Amino acid sequence: MTIAIPRSTTPAVPGVVGASLRVPLVTGERVEYANLDHAASAPCLEQVRDAVDELLPWYASVHRGAGFASQVSTRVYEQARDSVRRFVNARASDAVVFTRNTTDALNLLARSVPKHTAVLLFDAEHHAALLPWRGPNVRRIATPSSAAAAVAVLDRELAASPVGPRLVVVTGASNVTGELWPVAELARVARGHGARIALDAAQLAPHRPVDLRALDVDYAVFSGHKVYAPFGAGVLVGRSDWLQAAEPYLVGGGATKKVIDHGDRLGVAWSAVPERHEAGSPNVVGVHALAVACDVLGRHWEQTVEHERVLLERLRAGLATVPGLRELSLFGTDHERVGVVSFTVGGHDAGYLAAALSAEYGIGVRDGAFCAHIAVTRLLGEVGAHEERALRASLGLGSTVDHVDRLVAALRTLVSEGPKWNYVQRDGRWVPENDERPLPPFLS
């Protein structure tokens, strides 16, 4: 059966650094890089790069410097909190705490909940949301087969949970399948039982507006490198009372108001939130990049969403024409999703295909279990796969129609004709044999 592939064009969106990057192939040619791994790390926006270049001459210590450059850097750092607030429509009383990334933010929150807090979460979560919550007070819920069932089972679990502080942790969009979770409905159930809810927005924030007030969630976390800023900065936004009552996540300069020597011990008066949990010299450049990315995305949601809708429709239609390909899905293939698709190709090792796509076609995809081993293991079992790895193609502002079409055409060729190059396994991964692709000059 032939499936028609939409020929729609995509709207103009903010430009990304590296859009014209050309990479070498094992066959000796160079081609434009097709980056279809946005779910792992999105490329830097051109506007973010320009903003960082503008800041760097003024780069100096933050908060404790008397020099003019230090005052500028401090102003940049504190204004970034306002950008994040606008980006997620935070409440006026919400704290904005800068962290290294989403994982760091979730670990901070896990360290800050009151003692004996009952934590409920679904087992399909990313490891960053799954692993910080372990112990007798944690209830992991098997992910059901529909969004409506997820809401119903959470209602039952909260009704049976002990009285006291309770926290529900949920993702906004699956990093495996891209499917949207019913966050507002889950928050409504949590509210009905007097529980708080934390949103892992790492995969949602680059693709859809996140509105803390409309969703009625208490906390949200995400990373700069997912929203088109460089690595190194993330954020926890949410209610300040638990954060204020908790011991500092890290201890050191900036987290302290005063330290007194009592001889046999040190007396410490800790700073208030957010400084309480931001010990050490802050990453002012990373935080500025994150803030600018938030501002740019916030001005371009209509174009961003439409750009991804067109490409996702085209990608899924194209993948459906690849013999033996099975798309992975938590809630069913018709469920709404962002630009993330994971799949297997019957009889073909995912790592082998990923290596060939890169080496022979200049296409970057992700293979593996995507730091969501429980979800991927279950989904692979459901499609009859015997492997422990899948392939993931993820779209974003750096993606084009050509990238999508090249991926589909390359997969069809690899399935029907096989690769043109020999591949061997090294350290558990497939790599081209006699790979002579030159590295960029700055690595020589």
Query: What amino acid occupies position 10?
Result: T
Alpha helices in 3-67 (DSSP H): 46-55
Query: What amino acid occupies position 219?
Result: Y
For residue 174, what are its two tokens? 């699956």
The reply to whether omega before 274 is within 30° of 0 (cis) is yes
Judgement on whether residues 199 and 257 belong to the same structural domain of the protein: yes
Residue after which a domain boundary falls, among 299, 331, 361: 299
Decide if 315 is inside a domain. yes
Judgement on whether residues 295 and 318 belong to the same structural domain of the protein: no
Structural domain containing residue 399: 22-43+301-443
Query: 252: domain CATH number?
Result: 3.40.640.10
Judgement on whether residues 39 and 51 belong to the same structural domain of the protein: no
Judgement on whether residues 418 and 437 belong to the same structural domain of the protein: yes
Residue after which a domain boundary falls, among 299, 318, 350: 299
- Specify the pLDDT at position 2: 43
Q: Give the count of domains, the chain.
A: 2
**Residue pointed to by tokens 């204004």:** 79
Decide if 8 is inside a domain. no
Judgement on whether residues 315 and 428 belong to the same structural domain of the protein: yes
**Residue 79 CB partners (closer than 8 Å, separation 6+):** 291
Judgement on whether residues 317 and 277 belong to the same structural domain of the protein: no
What tens-digit pLDDT sequence spans the chain (444 residues)?
344 555 555 678 999 999 999 999 999 999 999 999 999 999 999 999 999 999 999 999 999 889 999 999 999 999 999 999 999 999 999 999 999 999 999 999 999 999 999 999 999 999 999 999 988 999 999 999 999 999 999 999 999 998 899 999 999 999 999 999 999 999 999 999 999 999 999 999 999 999 999 999 999 999 999 999 998 899 999 999 999 999 998 999 899 889 999 888 888 999 999 999 999 999 999 999 999 999 999 999 999 999 999 999 999 999 999 999 999 999 999 999 999 999 999 989 999 999 999 999 999 999 999 999 999 999 998 666 556 799 999 999 999 999 999 999 999 999 999 999 999 999 999 999 999 999 999 997
**Residue pointed to by tokens 């040190």:** 266
Q: What angle do CA 98, 103, 106 make, to 5 degrees?
A: 75
Cross-sheet strand order for the sheet of 138-141: 95-99, 234-238, 219-223, 196-200, 166-171, 118-122, 138-141
Residue after which a domain boundary falls, among 280, 299, 318: 299
- Specify the pLDDT at position 162: 87
Alpha helices in 5-101 (DSSP H): 46-55, 68-88
Q: Is 294 a catalytic residue?
A: no
Query: 431: domain CATH number?
Result: 3.90.1150.10
User: Pick the catalytic residue: 26, 293, 371, 380?
Assistant: 371
Decide if 130 is inside a domain. yes
**Residue 177 CB partners (closer than 8 Å, separation 6+):** 328, 329, 330, 337, 340, 341, 342, 379
Judgement on whether residues 434 and 415 belong to the same structural domain of the protein: yes
Residue in 390, 356, 398 with CA at minimum distance from that of residue 371: 390
**Reported pTM:** 0.94
Decide if 2 is inside a domain. no
- Specify the pLDDT at position 9: 57
Judgement on whether residues 295 and 307 belong to the same structural domain of the protein: no
